[in-house]
Amino acid sequence: MGFVHHSNYLKFFELARISWLEKLGLSYAAMEKSGILMPVVKVQLHFKTPLYFGENFQVHVQLLEPPKATLKFKYEIFNDQGVLNCSGETLLAFLSKTSGRPMRCPEELRSVFAQLD
């Protein structure tokens, strides 16, 4: 069909989120080594117009609310003409690697996110 498959949008969201966190000085790998897991527990996607193979695009990422036991992100994907192709949200939970149980956002992460306000 020439369209980017719908499942790829979640990969775009993830790559943008990881890049956004790295720009804040946070690393998924380092968090996991310290015992913090952040699985995606909820996803919403809203397709507006298709992306085509070979088309360039940008993903905008925004943290929607201060973290507690979860992180809620908003995403928007725009093509080079500035057309909104897709928007969506993800909800990530903080889990303890050792217990597998939910946990509150660690203070060192909360302080990084507090600087965004």
Read off the pLDDT of residues 83-112 as tens digits, 9 standing for 90 and up: 999 999 999 999 999 999 999 999 988 888
Torsions phi, psi for 81 (to 5 deg): -90, 5
* DSSP letter assigned to residue 62: E
What is the token pair recorded at 54?
């070979």
Specify the pLDDT at position 117.
63
Specify the pLDDT at position 113.
85
Domains with residue ranges and CATH for the chain:
8-114 (3.10.129.10)
Residues of the chain with pLDDT under 50: none
**DSSP per residue over 43-88, as a string?**
EEEEE-S--BTT--EEEEEEE-S--SSEEEEEEEEEETT--EEEEE
Which three-class secondary structure state does DSSP give residue 16?
helix
